């Protein structure tokens, strides 16, 4: 069986968030299950909030030498800003 996890954030070397999910994925991979992680990243956060961009595709290795993939597609959100009568988020 193959598992796919979708996460708003996923840990990187520089930013440790949602570590529980990473531990679950690593445990499954070490048991022999195939796992992939999809962790979309906002271009808005990169450009305006100066967050670090993750690679689009990252092959990770567990401490036991098993590999799994983390995919981080980029997307753009429109903030809730009004310019006159025009609302960007609509």
- pLDDT of residue 74 exceeding 70, the answer is yes
- Distance between the two ends of the chain, CA-based, in angstroms? 40
pLDDT at residue 35, as a whole number: 96
Percentage, residues of the chain above pLDDT 70: 84
Under DSSP, the state recorded for 85 is T
Does the pLDDT value for residue 18 go beyond 90? no
Q: pLDDT tens digits for 33-62? A: 999 999 998 876 666 666 777 889 999 999
pTM (two decimals): 0.78
Residue 89's pLDDT is 60
Please spell the DSSP secondary structure of 45-80, one letter per residue.
Answer: HHHHS-PPPPPSEEEEE-TTS-EEEEE--EE----S
């Amino acid at each position: 069986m193959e598992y796919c996890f979708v996460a708003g954030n996923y840990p990187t070397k520089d930013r440790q968030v949602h570590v529980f999910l990473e531990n679950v994925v690593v445990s499954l991979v070490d048991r022999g299950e195939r796992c992939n992680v999809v962790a979309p990243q906002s271009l808005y956060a990169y450009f305006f909030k100066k967050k670090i961009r993750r690679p689009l595709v990252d092959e990770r290795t567990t401490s036991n030498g098993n590999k799994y993939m983390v995919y981080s597609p980029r997307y753009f959100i429109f903030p809730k800003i009004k310019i006159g009568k025009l609302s960007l988020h609509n």
